[in-house]
Amino acid sequence: MTERTELFRAFAALHVAGDPLILFNVWDAGSAAAVAAGGAKAIATGSASVAAANGFGDGEEVPLELVLANAERIAGAVDLPVTIDFEGGYAIEAGPLTANMKRLAESGAIGCNFEDQIVGGEGVHPIDVQAARIRAARAGAGPDFFINARTDLFLKAKPDTHDATMVDAALERARAYADAGASGFFVPLLSDLALLERMCAGSSLPVNFMAYPGAPAAAEVAATGVARISHGPFPYKAAMKTLQEAAEGIYGTKGGTGGS
């Protein structure tokens, strides 16, 4: 068994319902090394964090070449499995999407997030279209690459509209995405614990929850059957807040000398 095959299998095995993999999302090689040193079992990027750290907006505004180079640097900086937030794969059609996913797999990453929202447009791709896109992604990434299929049904709806009907619609996508070759199912901003439990019970794919300030505690989320908890852009935001506060102290805004 090759070292890379071991990483694929190790990463997949970390997804345990009720005992979820915790991903404290990073944005570059330095933050990846810090999180690895902190005890992480795997490393994940967040697209919004990578974008902000490089002066871009989210939504595939970061040039593809930079995304791939950043993935390669992160994978080279740690000995852990690395998964990349690849947004919508930087392509709509099958051919370019397959090519982009092949390049991502060649960067050293062993997985990615792949979302169903229409990047730069409105709404989400129809189920059959997104299933075809997942098949194209799988063709490029190879059989072991962990494709975490993200649905944005909940992200694009107000939390007070999240209900069992919406969960059932998401489960229809989960089934179609699993049949198309997805490895996991990501439901950002679904935080109602009863609905989350319904989602986990109905999905054949391991379910990914996104933690955020004010969300239920990790133990409560784990009890619903979630197999993965990621932190999205919030580690970056916390780090930048700390950096800004330190700068304010140095420059006198918060009691520093303000001198040179």
- Total domains in the chain come to 1
Among residues 143, 141, 133, 224, the alpha carbon closest in space to that of 151 is found at 133
pLDDT at 255: 54
User: Which residues on adjacent β-strands are paired with residue 184?
Assistant: 148
Inside any domain, residue 155 = yes
Report the sign of the C-alpha dihedral through residues 39, 213, 45, 124, in that order: positive
CA distance to 83, 109, 111, 123, 251, per residue, from 47 (Å): 11, 15, 14, 19, 31
The domain of 104 spans 3-251
Inside any domain, residue 260 = no
pLDDT at 5: 85
Contact between residue 85 and residue 112 where contact means Cβ atoms under 8 Å apart: yes
Distance (Å, whole) CA 221 – CA 88: 26
Inside any domain, residue 129 = yes
Inside any domain, residue 70 = yes
Backbone angles phi, psi at 23, to 5 degrees: -115, 115
pLDDT at 150: 98
Number of residues assigned to the chain? 260
Inside any domain, residue 256 = no
User: Which residues on adjacent β-strands are paired with residue 147?
Assistant: 112
Specify burial of residue 64 (Cβ count, 10 A radius: 0-12, 13-18, 19+): middle
Among residues 43, 154, 136, the alpha carbon closest in space to that of 97 is found at 136
DSSP 224: T
| The model's pTM | 0.94
Among residues 239, 243, 240, 206, the alpha carbon closest in space to that of 225 is found at 206
Distance (Å, whole) CA 118 – CA 126: 10
For the domain that residue 183 is a member of, what is the CATH number?
Answer: 3.20.20.60
Distance (Å, whole) CA 84 – CA 228: 15
Inside any domain, residue 64 = yes
The tens-digit pLDDT sequence of the chain (260 residues) is 478 888 999 999 999 999 999 999 999 999 999 999 999 999 999 999 999 999 999 999 999 999 999 999 999 999 999 999 999 999 999 999 999 999 999 999 999 999 999 999 999 999 999 999 999 999 999 999 999 999 999 999 999 999 999 999 999 999 999 999 999 999 999 999 999 999 999 999 999 999 999 999 999 999 999 999 999 999 999 999 999 999 999 998 875 444 44
DSSP 159: G
